[in-house]
Structure 1
Amino acid sequence: MTKHRKHTNLERRNNDNFAPNEIAILGTNCDVISDLVSKISQKLANYKLAYFDASHAKNVEKNSLSEYVFHHEGNVQITTSGNINKFQQRLDFAQFDYVFINGNHYQGAKQILILDEAKEASVLKRLEQLDRIQFVVKLKSETKYFDFLEEKYPQIKNITCYTIDEVDQIANHINNLIQEKIAPVKGLVLVGGKSTRMGTDKSELNYFGKPQKEYVKILLENQNLETFYSVQPFDFARDDNSNDDEISDKFINLGPFGGICSAFQKDPNAAWFVLATDVPFVNEEIIQLVLKHRNPSKAATAIQGKGKDFPEPLITIYEPKAYPILLQYLAQGYSCPRKMLINSDIEIVEIDDTFIRNINTPEEFEVAKNELKN
């Protein structure tokens, strides 16, 4: 008998307990943990990092007013009331590459165990939380492994071990853990637009001996990107599941914005290289240039013409962290991917304007086709 499912079974972003990528540090006092996190973060300044800790204040009154204090340099201090809620924390931490957790207070999906003889009892109390130790740090090189650790985890001495002063090596280890979870890139070719000014489907125009949608798909596939067509639900007169290389819009009548969100709904753990079919001067070198300058720490990596004021939203790699941002804009009544890019932390790749000309009318098509022949 098939089990009744009350809600749609959606693909979910791969999250740890509180963030997409987290590690808890435990086994010593809180000052040592926060000091280590501070030193590591200075070595990994090219990433977006966060530290998740508990207040050590004994008595705190509930705030009747939430205060947000912004500094002109970009820092913000927030004082508000709220309980720990993994769903809220995942939203708060969605934009971070890595989150360090004070494991004395909260349990992380992965752990760094610090061996401190003075805290043996504390480690014993949290023994069951040590289920994915990434490496061990000794406060003193001569510190021995506790007997109960070896009994519970016979292989613990085979795990990489550092001393607390080996900050460079620890930071490098963390760097590798971050790199392991960088999202793969997939391709998304936007087709099925209204093409009102052209009078015919722009994705079917022939510049290079085949429909432009096929040419664009090949451009992306030549970079080893698994690539899909973004189509409207009524395109090709068949269901979304009937063709493996199509993603049917689930966000209806939102244009490219809906296509991008639909791709993330299909795979929220991939970055999506979005490419329109009305920019025929985009070639393999430009695709390679965007991939070369991809910055997974940003929300997106976008092309911008040197003579333009704004990025091109349809020649862009959108990272998984862009998905919740897009949905936040949608919740405010905006369905313009460019607006999201302009107001987000993104990587800009500048190129000559001529490579990103939009071809929108029959006259422009004839001119572009002749230029491309030459």
Structure 2
Amino acid sequence: MGVYGIVVCGGQSLRMGTDKSQLVYYEKPQYEHVHHTLVPLCEKVVISCNAGQAGTISGNYERVVDLPQFSGNGPIAAILSAFQTYPGHDLLVAGCDYPFLTIRELTFFLHSIKRDTLAAAFYNEADKYEPLLAWYSSDCAPILRINYENGDYALQYFLQKVGAEKYRPESKNVVTSIDTPEDFKKVRDLLARQNDHENGN
């Protein structure tokens, strides 16, 4: 079965002080932009959110809300809820924290994944996986569930344990997570200048 794209909106965004999925970098809320980015690469794309965010997602987007048995325990809730809602499908996961993510980079990522791989993820300069820029095969579902039941909620630890493939993007900006209002303003201003330059302004 084809890969399903999961736009991960969940999280408290404590350092940002506002919901990062609602931030606007490209003239639309980031959850819409990431959805648009995933569509060409996936059989289906859905918005993953927690119960508190469900009412803030506008438009005709299919949603998967964190299931009660998983909610409140970090990003693993989004992955487990998606696997339970769409059993048998591999998941291409993209968080709303990465404004420099492109279709081109995701295409390279998907093409790099070996056939017998359990999971793969973008890898940053700090030598850590980006669990919300990742691909999880359907075979991950039972392993993740066991981890969860054992109190192991960290996706970083899971990716390390299964020896997930490491994908280093062409540009380190792709794995830059924007987590504070100051960083958001810097990136928004940078993107605006780039847009002006491209339009000859």
5 Å-filtered alignment, 1:292-331, equals: 292-305=111-124, 307-331=125-149
5 Å-filtered alignment, 1:1-374, equals: 183-237=1-55, 245-250=62-67, 251-305=70-124, 307-351=125-169, 352-373=171-192, 374=194
What displacement does 1:237 show? 4.1
Q: Encode CA deviations 1:54-87: one digit per residue, 9 max, x unaligned.
A: xxxxxxxxxxxxxxxxxxxxxxxxxxxxxxxxxx
SS in 2 for 1:303: strand
User: 1:324 & 1:236 partners in 2: Cα distance?
Assistant: 26
> Could you say which structure has the larger radius of gyration?
1
What displacement does 1:324 show? 1.3
Task: Give the % identical residues.
Answer: 30
Larger RCO, structure (CA 8 Å, separation 6 or more): 2
What displacement does 1:224 show? 4.1
SS in 1 for 2:15: coil
User: 1:236 & 1:262 partners in 2: Cα distance?
Assistant: 14
Q: Encode CA deviations 1:231-266: one digit per residue, 9 max, x unaligned.
A: 11233349xxxx761001111112211000000001
Q: Encode CA deviations 1:154-209: one digit per residue, 9 max, x unaligned.
A: xxxxxxxxxxxxxxxxxxxxxxxxxxxxx420100011321111111100100000
User: 1:192 & 1:253 partners in 2: Cα distance?
Assistant: 10
Q: Give the TM-score of the pair, scaled to structure 2.
A: 0.87
What displacement does 1:331 show? 2.2
User: 2:82 & 2:115 partners in 1: Cα distance?
Assistant: 18
* Matched-pair contact (CA < 8 Å) for 1:275–1:315: yes
What displacement does 1:286 show? 1.1
* Matched-pair contact (CA < 8 Å) for 2:10–2:78: no
In the alignment of these two chains, the number of paired residues is 187
What displacement does 1:345 show? 2.9
Q: Give the TM-score of the pair, scaled to structure 1.
A: 0.48
* Matched-pair contact (CA < 8 Å) for 1:276–1:315: yes
* Matched-pair contact (CA < 8 Å) for 1:308–1:353: no
Structure 1 gaps, min length 5: 1-182
* Matched-pair contact (CA < 8 Å) for 1:231–1:246: yes
User: 2:136 & 2:186 partners in 1: Cα distance?
Assistant: 31
Q: Encode CA deviations 1:85-115: one digit per residue, 9 max, x unaligned.
A: xxxxxxxxxxxxxxxxxxxxxxxxxxxxxxx
Q: Encode CA deviations 1:210-243: one digit per residue, 9 max, x unaligned.
A: 00000000000022441001111233349xxxx7
Which of the pair is proportionally richer in helix? 2
Structure 2 gaps, min length 5: 195-201
User: 2:18 & 2:97 partners in 1: Cα distance?
Assistant: 12
Q: Could you say what the CA RMSD is over the residues aligned between the two structures, in angstroms?
A: 1.7
